[in-house]
A = this chain, B = another copy of it.
Amino acid sequence: MRITRVQAAGNRARVIDAAAKEFRRSGFDQVAVVDLMRAAGLTHGGFYNHFASKTELEAEVCASSFDPARAKLGVIAAMANEAERLAAFEHYADTYLSDRRRQEAGPHCPMIAFASEVSRKSKPVQVGFAAGLRRYIAAFAAAHRRGGDAASEPSRSTAIFTLSAMVGALALARSIAATDKPLSDEILAATRQGLADFAGTSKR
Known A-B contacts A169-B168, A171-B167; the reply to A198 vs B190 at CB < 8 A is no
Q: Is A32 an interface residue (CB 8 A)?
A: no
Number of interface residues of A (CB under 8 A): 57
* Interface positions of A from 140 to 198, Cβ below 8 Å from B: 156-158, 160-169, 171-172, 174-180, 183, 186-187, 189-191, 193-195, 197-198
Q: Tell me the bound Cα distance from A179 to B158 in angstroms.
A: 23
Q: Tell me the bound Cα distance from A194 to B195 in angstroms.
A: 11
Option from B30, B167, B172 in Cβ contact (under 8 Å) with A172? B167
Q: Is A81 an interface residue (CB 8 A)?
A: no
Determine the chain B residues whose CB is within 8 A of the CB of A111 once the complex forms. Answer: 172
Residues of A within 8 A of B (CB): 26-27, 29-30, 111-120, 123, 126-127, 129-130, 133-134, 137, 156-158, 160-169, 171-172, 174-180, 183, 186-187, 189-191, 193-195, 197-198, 201-202
4 other A-B residue contacts (CB within 8 Å) besides A126-B178, A164-B194: A127-B179, A157-B190, A194-B198, A197-B198
